[in-house]
Amino acid sequence: MAYASASDVRGMTPNLSTGSSFDSSSSPNLDQINNWLSSGCAVINTRLAAIGYDPIPTTSGAYDIARDANATYAAWRAERSRINTRVSADERTRADMMRRDFEYLLEEITGQDLSRSGVTATSVAYAGGISVSDKTSVAADGDRTAPRFARGMFANPGARMPGDTTSACANGDY
Per-residue model confidence as pLDDT tens digits over 91-123: 667 888 899 999 999 999 999 999 888 899 886
Reported as a pLDDT band with limits 50, 70 and 90, residue 150 is confident
Longest dimension (CA), the chain: 86
- Helices 30-50 and 63-81 cross at an angle (nearest 10°) of 130
**Which residues is 53 bridged to in the sheet?**
121
36 close to 74: Cβ distance less than 8 angstroms: yes
User: Rg of the chain over CA atoms, in angstroms?
Assistant: 27
CA-CA distance, 55 to 105, in Å (whole number)?
15
pTM above 0.85, yes or no: no
At position 141, the amino acid (one-letter code) is D
Helix, strand, or coil (residue 121): strand
In this model, does residue 169 exceed pLDDT 60?
Answer: no
CA-CA distance, 135 to 138, in Å (whole number)?
5
Per-residue model confidence as pLDDT tens digits over 25-57: 888 888 999 999 999 999 999 999 999 899 999
Q: What is the mean pLDDT of the chain?
A: 82
